[in-house]
Structure 1
Amino acid sequence: MRALALILALALPASAQDDPGQQAGPEFTDSQGAKLRFLDKLTSETGDVELGVGQGAKFGRLVVQLDSCRYPTGNPASDAEAHLTILEETTDTQLFAGWMLASSPALSALDHPRYDVWVLNCVLPEASAEAATDPATDTGEGE
């Protein structure tokens, strides 16, 4: 019994010696929106949509709401994660509620015979500011 106590006493400090500032995973930053892609497998119609957090979009019989989007703080261009709620419009049935990863859409995917939805990326703050000031994006409407 004493040997077991000694082994446990020696094992516990070894795990506590890990760097206390080291986190289990990367730190994430919340985004104000995300870009999603839709596919209708029956008609081969695709579409991209940019949603703000709390906004929804209709694609075919699906209603998709963006609940949250986040990206690794140290590398914003890498893997985005978005929390989506997807409903069947006609029956108001929830088809999906959870996190989708941009780099691994099949890991947590919508299971629907006709439609696919996946995350492309989060909207980055500097990208929004650049688009607003970039003269190439000005369509000339309203002049």
Structure 2
Amino acid sequence: MLRAGALLAGVALLAACSDNPDDPTAPAPVETEIPEELQSAGPPAIVAEEAGIGTPMEERVATIGLLNKRNNLSQDLELKPGEQQRVGDVIVRVSACERTAPWEYDKDEGAFVQLLVLERGSESDFRKVFSGWLYKNKPSINVVEHPIYDVWVKACAMEYPGEE
């Protein structure tokens, strides 16, 4: 009995709701205008990457963590975009490094990384096992899946204009 009463009350509430714009009980939208001082300003200009906001790409430095799971040895690699470094059977390449601007709310750092691993039984045949963006604060977005090596971004050293 209680269920039937609750069901009837729910149906009555739904029937009272109306999507009809001609319904006299529906509130009318309030029209607003853009203030005069903002009308002349226009939209903000889009700053092209070539305009040089922040440190130029070739001067940035990515700090990449590399862990060898076999021997539990980890080390930090400092690479500028375009550089690569070989550590044992692995080559780590960095193509780009970026961090969010200081005025943005969600702070993060990332790098475009490629990981090449020496094929078993070979002396010079490397196979690319990962290529993509890695993020410091969101490592689960893109993960290096390799049974021996783990790679992650620790930092991207760069500056924006006005930073201290």
If the length of structure 1 is used for normalisation, what is the TM-score?
0.62
Q: Report what 1:10 is aligned to.
A: none
Tell me what 1:59 maps to. 87
Which residue in the other structure is 2:149 paired with?
115
- The structure-2 alpha-carbon separation of the partners of 1:108 and 1:62, relative to structure 1 and needing over 3 Å to count, comes to same
CA shift, 1:93, in A, is 1.1
More strand by share: 1
- The answer on whether the counterparts of 1:38 and 1:115 sit within 8 Å (CA) in structure 2 is yes
Is the contact between residue 62 and residue 86 of structure 1 (CA under 8 Å) also seen in structure 2?
yes
Partner of 1:12: none
The Cα shift of 1:125 comes to 4.2
Q: Identity over the aligned pairs, expressed in percent?
A: 26
Residue pair 1:85, 1:96 contacting (<8 A) in 2 also: yes
Distance 1:63 1:125 in 2: 27
Q: What are the equivalent positions in structure 2 for 1:64-83 lying under 5 Å apart?
A: 64-74=92-102, 78-83=107-112
Greater radius of gyration (CA): 2
Give CA deviations for 1:68-103 in whole Å, capped at 9, x if unaligned: 011111259x31011011111343211011100011
Structure 1 residue aligned with 2:158: 124
Return the TM-score normalized by structure 2: 0.54
Which residue matches 2:4? none
Q: Identify unmatched segments of 5+ residues in structure 1.
A: 1-19, 127-143
| Match of residue 46 from structure 1 | 74
Cα distance, 1:112 vs structure 2? 0.5
Q: Distance in 2 between matches of 1:55 and 1:103?
A: 23
| Aligned partner letter, 2:138 | S
Q: Which runs of 5+ in 2 are unaligned?
A: 1-42, 47-52, 120-124
Structure 1 residue 92 corresponds to structure 2 residue 126 = yes
Match of 1:104 in 2: 138
Match of 2:61 among 33, 41, 45: 33
Checking the alignment, whether the CA contact within 8 Å between 1:38 and 1:59 is kept in structure 2 is no
Structure 2: distance between partners of 1:107 and 1:39: 19
User: 1:136 matched to which residue of 2?
Assistant: none
Counterpart residue type for residue 101 of structure 2: T
TM-fit CA distance, 1:49? 1.2
- Alpha-carbon RMSD across the aligned residues, in angstroms, is 2.7
